[in-house]
Amino acid sequence: MNFRSSRWLLAPVVAGALAAAGLSLVNPVTAADAANGKGRARNVIFINGDGMSAAQREAARLYLAGFDGQLTMDKLPYSGQLTTSPHDPKSPITDSAAAATAWSTGEKTYNGAIGVDVDGNPLPILGAQAKAAGKATGLVTTAQVTDASPAAFFANTANRSAQDEIARQYLEVTRPDVILGGGEDWWLPAGSPGAYPDKPAEDPSEASKGTKGDLVTEARAKGYQYVSTADQLRTARPGKLLGLFANEELFQQRREGEGDRYDPPASLATMTSKALDTLSRNKKGFFLFVEEEGIDEFAHENNGTRMLQALGELEKAVAVARNFAATHPDTLVVVTGDHECGGLTVEDTGTADESGDGISAEDGPFPVKGSALTFNLDWTTSGHTGVDVPVTAYGPLAEEFTGKHPNTHVHDVLARILTR
């Protein structure tokens, strides 16, 4: 048995982070809220827990809320399931690019595709359609802002790896009003470090690598404020906003104790709040994509400690979105995942069952909040799996997410709001 004990590390990290943020996870949804789905929507907040399926949500519920508690994302009054399979000739299991393209375009495609069909032809994407309809648009992520999931809403390219081309399209084609996350390396040419130096000690492989020129300077010329710290983000004035807070992701994705780190310079909840304050000034409404990438990246490393920490940060961002929608009844909030990662199972710590060593080792024990009991996380892979993902929703059209649907159903619902 290869048993990785993480309880000692996770509890103070997550508990301290929640307290420091000053954002409550208690956010009751009343019976009256359930009727909120009957109104008319102008705004959409679409939230992706990358790599998050039912097991990840249940592990977070036990750790953050306890046996009788609920996560804010699970209190949203309408719920269902989404299938995730792509149309890829080589695999029945999706990656983030194909999954997000299904959301954005309503068409399934191959893994690695950003806003293109199975033949590589560009498809209409929701970010561009919302902009054409006069709405403000934005994206917030703890990944690179040009990573697959946000890119599928705001770019068209046959290869998700072309992140500098995706950045160029943001500025010159789809023009999202708010762009907040990581990935400064893709906005600057090789040899031209920006706010974050090349080859940092925590990851010497990170360095500026763009091939489209100095896109930060171009963004400023197009009217974007550029910020690179939490203080600069806090004091940014209303208007178009580009914030890049790391060379790549806003964390270091490694196995426990091997240089893993999750302390984003600007938290997901903070970025979400700033984006909502900016986008909500548009009288025609807005579209905001929000993503917690750490769930997926740490699940790839079978790092339950940091995965649960990332889930806690997602939960705080969901609370920000839910609180905004509570005072803006024309806002649809949707929370889901693009796929599952890790083949995760939540297990009793008392069982003798063990599926293997290394990648398939158990992880834990982790405490159940308000209880003396603990649970383990048991991984079966370091990759994605094909299980369904839960979806929960609040606001106008939220009832459309009840039942089981293909992931393209997301597009069908969101387009009814964003393309008119």
Exposure letters 241-263 (e unless 16+ CB within 10 A, then b): bbbbbbbbbbbbbbbbeeebebe
Say if residue 47's pLDDT is above 80: yes
**In the prediction, which pLDDT does 32 show?**
40
The answer to whether 405 is a known ligand-binding residue is no
The residue-averaged pLDDT of 276-283 equals: 97
pTM to 2 decimals?
A: 0.91
Query: In three state form, how does the secondary structure of 4-15 look?
Result: ECCHHHHHHHHH
Q: In what order do the strands lie in the sheet with 331-336?
A: 225-227, 241-244, 178-182, 136-144, 286-292, 43-49, 331-336, 389-394, 78-83, 403-406
Q: What is the mean pLDDT of the chain?
A: 91
Find the farthest-apart pair of alpha carbons in the chain and give their distance in angstroms, rounded.
Answer: 62
**In the prediction, which pLDDT does 366 show?**
97
**Percentage of residues in the chain with pLDDT exceeding 70?**
88
The answer to whether 338 is a known ligand-binding residue is yes
Say if residue 130's pLDDT is above 80: yes
| pLDDT band of 26, cuts 50, 70, 90 | very low
Say if residue 139's pLDDT is above 90: yes
The answer to whether 339 is a known ligand-binding residue is yes
Say if residue 34's pLDDT is above 50: no
The residue-averaged pLDDT of 231-240 equals: 96
Give the tens place of pLDDT for each residue, 344-383. 999 998 766 656 566 667 899 999 999 999 999 999 999 9
Give the tens place of pLDDT for each residue, 52-93. 999 999 999 999 999 999 999 999 999 999 999 999 999 999
Say if residue 40's pLDDT is above 90: no
The residue-averaged pLDDT of 254-261 equals: 81
Full set of structural domains in the chain with CATH: 36-176+271-345+358-418 (3.40.720.10)
Distance of alpha carbon 416 from alpha carbon 113, whole angstroms: 24
**In the prediction, which pLDDT does 359 show?**
67
Distance of alpha carbon 97 from alpha carbon 102, whole angstroms: 9
- Single out the catalytic residue among 6, 96, 104, 228: 96
Say if residue 182's pLDDT is above 80: yes
The answer to whether 353 is a known ligand-binding residue is no
**In the prediction, which pLDDT does 39 show?**
61
- Is residue 61 within 8 A of residue 114, CB to CB? The reply is no
Residues 6+ away with beta carbon under 8 Å from 393: 37, 76, 77, 78, 79, 332, 333, 334, 335, 399, 400, 401
The answer to whether 296 is a known ligand-binding residue is yes
Distance of alpha carbon 374 from alpha carbon 130, whole angstroms: 45
Is the peptide bond between 176 and the residue preceding it cis, with omega within 30 degrees of 0?
no
**Percentage of residues in the chain with pLDDT exceeding 90?**
84
The answer to whether 147 is a known ligand-binding residue is yes
Question: 96 catalytic, yes or no?
Answer: yes
**In the prediction, which pLDDT does 114 show?**
98
- Is residue 41 within 8 A of residue 396, CB to CB? The reply is yes
**In the prediction, which pLDDT does 254 show?**
82
**In the prediction, which pLDDT does 115 show?**
98
Say if residue 237's pLDDT is above 70: yes
